[in-house]
Structure 1
Amino acid sequence: MSGYLAYLAKRLGQFVLVVFIGVNIAYVVTHATPIDPVEQSISAVTSFGNTAPEAIEQMRQSLKELYGVGGSWREQYFTFWSRILRADFGPSMSAFPTPVSALIGRALPWTVGLLVVSTLVTWALGNLLGGLAGYYQRSRSFKLMGVVAMGLHPIPYYIVALMLLIVFGFLWPVLPITGGSAMNLPQGWTLAFIGSVLKHSILPALSLILIGVGSWFLGMRSLVSNIVTEDYVQFAELGGVNRRRILGSYVMRNALGPQVTGLAMSLGGIFNGAIITEKVFGYPGVGTLLVDAVYAGDYGLVLGVTTISILGVSAGVLAIDLLYPLFDPRVQVA
């Protein structure tokens, strides 16, 4: 137990270090842009008419405090980290005076719901079929699946998304092609709203699943194909052990290590896949929010989304690091 506690402390220290470095890089990049949120907001206000210089100066000082860009660079940096620790990214420039945290809070459930579910379904389906194809190598059905997987794998998922839009939006219009739910439904835990959300998520999720399954299928098939040649697997087969038990306990379990690591990275990096998918389908998630923030020059919102992404990736890697010793005894925790 003491060995695992030391392992836990080490991994938590790595998590804090990675988040600290990543957020600092995001801070430097966003503050290196030529966009000044204060002057941009003042320009937007004064474009409607002349304003007294005193009022403009007061507005400038107030906006600097709001955006955390007042004082020296050291004061700005410490103000930034104090806000990060409070989950306060200041107001959004493009949706002033709405706080950045409020905008992210509205969009995050949509992205998490869509990307987490589609990633888990893709991972489970791809690994199951890939494991079966690697073990039953003479099966024609699994060979055909391998050909299909290799054909789909190199196709960009936004191409598949556009094909789904054409097929189910125009040629056979049976599914909604934009939005997260019907516009005339109030959001809430009602059957009508939940059904609308599920219906609107079918095409975005399907575009991710069709492409993602191929990658997991090929990876798992390759791992299983190597493991079935190991001596312990052949001895189990010669000893008359049930083939299902061999597949589940001897082969699939030993092949899942790298795949579980990949799952953690995929779950942590769900925001990467959200950007194009959400824009294609007009989905109201973090990806759409980030693209709109870039177009508007809203670096506070960009920084907020980037920070959440860094935390997501780091938390995913931390979670799998902590779970590894529990299902793989080969991992040393001492």
Structure 2
Amino acid sequence: MKFLKFLCSRLVTFIFVIILGMTAVFLIPRFMPSDPVEAMLGQMTSKSNSMDMAAIDAMRKTLNENFGLEGTLGEQYLGYMKRVIFTQDFGPSLTMYPVPVKDLIANSLPWTLGLLGISTIISWLIGNSIGLLAGIRKDKTYSKILEGIAICIYPIPYYIFALTLIMLFAYIFPIFPLSANFNVSGFSWENVKTIIWNSLLPALSLILTGTGWWVISMTTLSRNTNEEDFVAFARMKGLSERKVIGRYVLPNTILPQITMLALQIGTIFNGALITEILFNYPGIGSLIYRGILQADYNLIMGTITISIFAVTTTTLIVDLLYPFIDPRVRYN
């Protein structure tokens, strides 16, 4: 009974956040000063002087229907919600008309998941391992050095690392290509090696900055937990240091890190916007940038709506799994 009550409350919150987020995504692009339909008509008429007003008006009506801009704001909103919820259709893209937005997202999403998903998990594993060691062995010189490096790295934006890596390993030491080249087709080990080789620099810029945060947070958590009475009691019982860390320190410090990992996995659907632009990486971040730059309503709404669904879904899954990860948490 408690579980059903807990599940219902979380599902209500989940649905409310989804609706609120989708409403914001629908309204914000419409506050932009540019009109995508008029911009597209302007491009067409500039290339052809033979179009009469009747043809332009008919085309304007067709484009408004395709972009969901026909009718009042309320009618547009209801049409948008129906399309997204029931058919997952965001309409055609302005920048690549008449290609559907969902096809563009489907082509770009694997690249973003591959880059940000792998780099996020690697930085989480490395950062938490170093942070756990630095927190427990706080008096050791190497722990202080590792923590100091993390503190210096964390405030630096990832795109600064990206620019530094480009200057070092593409200009000064031309080891990697300046701009990523993913002109591959089909699955083969050569294509896989090409993708990995072109993804190393953008991945490294994300891993370095991400590791800094995980080291700092895990160091603080493990250091505080290591000073708790139950940990001191475990050592007094004669348990080995490995058992003390594995049974008492790690389980009590890893929960907040798992929550943050789940949230970060949800946000990777946004893409690493500046990194993808700098390295010419064909991910979701590049799509968002293109949509904002050219006032592509459907592309903006499609990419950000996917991100909203991802973040809220991962948060819901973590909430439901918490009692299984930590028995002290109950469905209240």
Is the pair's TM-score, using the shorter chain for normalization, greater than 0.5? yes
1:280 to 255, 274, 278: 278
Residue number in structure 1 paired with 2:41: 42
User: Are residue 173 (structure 1) and residue 171 (structure 2) matched?
Assistant: no
Residue number in structure 1 paired with 2:146: 145
CA distance in structure 1 between the partners assigned to 2:131 and 2:306 by the alignment: 33
Residue number in structure 1 paired with 2:112: 111
Residue correspondence of structure 1 range 174-189 to structure 2 within 5 A: 174-179=175-180, 181=182, 183=183, 185-186=184-185, 188-189=186-187
Helix, strand or coil at the partner of 2:69: coil
CA distance in structure 2 between the partners assigned to 1:272 and 1:93 by the alignment: 20
CA distance in structure 2 between the partners assigned to 1:67 and 1:328 by the alignment: 47
Map Cα deviations across residues 17-38 of structure 1 (whole Å, 9 max, x no partner): 1111011011111122232222
Classify 1:272/1:58 alpha carbon distance in 2 versus 1 (closer, same or farther; 3 Å).
closer
CA distance in structure 2 between the partners assigned to 1:13 and 1:281 by the alignment: 41
TM-score, structure 1 as length reference: 0.95
CA distance in structure 2 between the partners assigned to 1:41 and 1:247 by the alignment: 62
User: Are residue 247 (structure 1) and residue 245 (structure 2) matched?
Assistant: yes
Tell whether the 8 Å contact from 2:284 to 2:303 is kept in structure 1 after alignment.
yes
Map Cα deviations across residues 124-168 of structure 1 (whole Å, 9 max, x no partner): 111111011111122222221111111111111111111111111
Residue number in structure 2 paired with 1:125: 126
Residue correspondence of structure 1 range 1-334 to structure 2 within 5 A: 2-48=1-47, 49-85=49-85, 86-179=87-180, 181=182, 183=183, 185-186=184-185, 188-272=186-270, 274-334=272-332
Q: CA deviation at 1:180?
A: 5.3
Counterpart residue identity of residue 179, structure 1: A
Map Cα deviations across residues 238-273 of structure 1 (whole Å, 9 max, x no partner): 111111111111001101111111111211112456
Q: 5+ residue gaps in structure 2?
A: none
Q: CA deviation at 1:9?
A: 2.7
CA distance in structure 2 between the partners assigned to 1:179 and 1:106 by the alignment: 17
CA distance in structure 2 between the partners assigned to 1:210 and 1:58 by the alignment: 53
Identity %: 40
Q: 5+ residue gaps in structure 1?
A: none
User: Mean alpha-carbon deviation: is it higher for 39-48 or for 160-169?
Assistant: 39-48
Tell whether the 8 Å contact from 2:271 to 2:284 is kept in structure 1 after alignment.
no
Tell whether the 8 Å contact from 1:177 to 1:200 is kept in structure 2 after alignment.
no
**Root mean square deviation, CA, Å:** 1.5
Helix, strand or coil at the partner of 2:99: coil
Helix, strand or coil at the partner of 1:47: helix
Q: CA deviation at 1:60?
A: 1.7
